[in-house]
Structure 1
Amino acid sequence: MKDTLNYLFAGNSLNKDQACKVLTNIAEGQFSEAEIASFLTVYRMRPVNAEELNGFRQALLNLCVKVDFSEFNTIDVVGTGGDGKNTFNISTASCFVLAGAGYKVTKHGNYGLSSVSGASNMFEYFGYKFSNDIDKLRKEVDEIGICFFHAPLFHPAMKNVGPVRRALKVRTLFNMMGPIINPCSPKNQLVGVSDLQIMDLYNQVFKDGDQNYMLVHALDGYDEVSLTGDTRYIENGFEDNLSPADFGFSTLQQEELSGGNTVEDAAKIFKNIMQAEATDAQQNVVIANAALGIKCMCPEKSLSDCVAEASEALKSKKALEVFNKLMATS
C-alpha cells in the first residue's frame, strides 16, 4: 500500500489490473484502517477514472457471492444516491411495476445513505427476509417475477472497509459501486446517477461490457427521472434529453416527491403507490421510471407504449399483486 499511495500521490492513476488488485487486497484485510482511509482520501481529492472504476468493480464481482440467473432475462433499476433530494423509494416501486408488467427483476440494494429510506429499509419494513439462498431467490424470480439482493449478504468482503467508511463520515468511491456490482450481473440495467460526471463515467464502464443499459439524470439534480424538468439519458451509447411531456405528464414540483422524515413515512407512500391510491405525481414518476425500464429491455417499443404498459401494471394493481406475493414468501 505504501508504494500504491506514493504512486497515486504523485498524480498517477491505476490501470484496471492494478485497481482490481489493490481493492482485492483491501477486501481481503491485508491493510490497516489508516492505509485504507488514505487510499479512499485520494478519490476524495480527485475523481476516479473509468479504468480504475472498472478494476474496482471487477474486484468486488470476483469476491461476491455468485448468482447465476442467466436463464432469465432480468433487469435492475437502481440509483446512485447522493442527490440529497430525499425522495420516496421511486426505483424500488418501479421494480414492482416492471414485475407487474411481466418482466423479471433482480433488485440490488442497501439501507439508505443519502436519504431516509433505501431499498433495504423498504423491503425490511414490510417483512421481507434478506437471504443469499440462491434457490429461494431463483424461485422468487421464476414464480413471482422479482427478488431482492441485500448488498451486505452478497459482498461480505466489504466488511473490511465498513469501519473506515463510518469513521470518515464522507462519501467515498464505494458509494458509486453499488449500482454496478449486482451479483447476478443482470442482462439489462437502468441506473439513475446524481450528476453528469458520474453519468459519463458509468457510460464508459458499461459500454465495455455486454449489458443492455440506460443511464438517467434529471438535470435539476435527481438520480432518476423526476418529472420536475428535463432528464438526460444515455441508452447503449446514444444520448439525448426527455421532457415530462415526452412521457405524457405535466411538470412536477420537487415537494411532490418528498419521502418524508422517517422510514414509516416512506413506507406509507410506497404502499399507497402499490395500491394505486397515491397522488398523481407520485404514481406518474414511478410509471415514468418503470417505462424507461421497459424501454431499456425492449428498445423497439415506443416510449408512449412503454408508459401505457407501466401505467396499466400499476393501476390494475398487478404491481400490488407481485408485492403481496413476494412479502408472503417471508
Structure 2
Amino acid sequence: MLTASIINKLKKQTNLTQNEAKLFMRSVFSGDVIERDLTDILILLNQKGITTDELTGCAESMREVSRKVSTKHKVIDNCGTGGDGIGTFNISTTSSFIAASCGAYIAKHGNKAITSSSGSADVLTQAGANIHLSPEQVSRCIDDINLGFMFAPLHHESMKHVAESRKKIAPEKTIFNLLGPLTNPANSKIQLIGVFAKEKIPLVAESLKNLGVKRAMIVHSEDGLDEISVFSVTHVAEITNSDIVHYTIKPEDYGVKEGNLRDIIVKNTEDSLDMVYSVLNNETGPALNICLINAAALLYLSGIENSLETAIQTCKAAVRDNKAKQKFMDFIKFTTSI
C-alpha cells in the first residue's frame, strides 16, 4: 500500500514527506519492495528532483539499519559521493592520514571503486591494510591510530536489496549516490563531503543539518572534482551548528595552485598508491598540494586550527617531518595485527 501510494505521488510530481521517505526506505532495506517498484521509484525521484525531506528521511532509515561504530572521540569523516568520473588518485584517503597525523580523529567511510580508477578500499588493500574489520576493531583503530576505516559493505548490508535496481538505472545516478556520505556508521557530527555536482551542495547541506551534523563543508569544484581543488575555484557550503554559509575557495589565495587536473589522474589502483606514497614522501607538486588543502579543511572543521591558512602549514610540517607517512604505516601494521 505504501509503495503504491508513493508511486502515485511521484507520478504526479508531488514531493514525499520526510516520514514517507523514511518509512519507504525502511521497507526497502527490509527486502519488502520488489525490484520493479524500487526501480520505478528511483527513476521517478530523479525526474521530479530529490528534496531535502526525502534525502533526510531515506538517510534516517539507512542509519537505523547500519552496523554502528562506537567511539568516545569527536570524529570527522572525509568522503565524497563519487561519480565525478575523473579518475583521480585517492585524495580524501591520503588527506585523512595527514590530518590524523596532526591530531584529528578520523572515521573514514569508504568503498571499492565504482566510477573511479581506485576506491579508498582498493588503495588501502593494495597498501597491505586489512579493511575487513568489525565495528569494535574500527573503534580500536580510532583510539590507537586516530583513524578507523569503515568498509561500507560491512556496515550497510541492507544495500544488497537495492543493487539490482541501481544496476538497471546505471550510469544514471540515484538517491543512493548521495546517501553514502550521510550515513557514517560512527555517527560523525563533523564532515568534509564532496559532491558530484554543484547543484547538490544545498541539498546535502540542508540534509546534514537535519541529521544533526554540527560542522561540515560540502564542496564541488568548477573543474568537476568532489574535493577542494588546487586547479580551479571550489564552491563550498559550510555548516556551523544551525547556520549554513556559501562561499568559494580560490587555490591561489592559499599558495597551492599548481599544475593541472591531468597531473593527478591515474589508471588503476597501483598508480594511485604510487601517487599516495609520493605525497607522503613530500614530493612537491599538485598531488601534494591538493592533499594539503583537503587535510587542512579537516583540521579546520575539527577545531584544531582556526583557519585554512594555518592548517595548511600544520599539514605541510606533518608531511615534511614524516609523521603522515608513519601514520599510514602504523595503520597498515595495526589493522593486520588486530
TM-score (norm 2): 0.93
Who is 1:156 aligned against?
A: 157
Alpha carbons 1:295, 1:303 under 8 Å: kept: yes
Who is 1:168 aligned against?
A: 169
Deviation at 1:271, TM superposition (A): 2.1
Q: Aligned residues, how many?
A: 327
The code of the aligned residue for 1:183 comes to P
| Alpha-carbon spacing, 1:272–1:226, altered in 2? closer, same or farther (3 Å) | same
Q: Larger deviation: 95-104 or 161-170?
A: 161-170
2-structure distance, mates of 1:31, 1:304: 49
Match of 1:289 among 275, 289, 294: 294
Who is 1:257 aligned against?
A: 264
Deviation at 1:169, TM superposition (A): 2.3
The code of the aligned residue for 2:27 comes to N
Who is 1:274 aligned against?
A: 280
Deviation at 1:181, TM superposition (A): 0.6
2-structure distance, mates of 1:324, 1:44: 42
Alpha carbons 1:229, 1:251 under 8 Å: kept: no
Match of 2:309 among 304, 309, 313: 304
Secondary structure at the aligned position of 2:165 is classed as helix
1-structure distance, mates of 2:157, 2:188: 20
1:21 aligns with 2:18: no
2-structure distance, mates of 1:233, 1:37: 32
2-structure distance, mates of 1:251, 1:326: 30
| Alpha-carbon spacing, 1:124–1:151, altered in 2? closer, same or farther (3 Å) | same
Deviation at 1:207, TM superposition (A): 2.4
Alpha carbons 1:132, 1:154 under 8 Å: kept: no
Who is 2:137 aligned against?
A: 136
Alpha carbons 2:59, 2:183 under 8 Å: kept: yes
Alpha carbons 1:232, 1:241 under 8 Å: kept: yes
Match of 2:228 among 225, 228, 244: 225
Secondary structure at the aligned position of 2:53 is classed as helix
Q: Larger deviation: 176-185 or 208-217?
A: 208-217
Q: Larger deviation: 99-108 or 293-302?
A: 293-302
The code of the aligned residue for 2:52 comes to A
The code of the aligned residue for 1:270 comes to V
Gaps of 5+ in 2: none
The code of the aligned residue for 2:41 comes to F
Root-mean-square deviation over aligned CA pairs: 1.5
Who is 1:192 aligned against?
A: 194
Match of 1:313 among 315, 318, 323: 318
TM-score (norm 1): 0.95
Alpha carbons 1:188, 1:213 under 8 Å: kept: yes
Who is 1:181 aligned against?
A: 183
Who is 2:207 aligned against?
A: 205
2-structure distance, mates of 1:299, 1:276: 22
Deviation string, structure 1 residues 137-196 (Cα, Å, up to 9, x no partner): 121111111010000100111111112222332222111111111111113111112222
Match of 1:239 among 246, 253, 256: 246
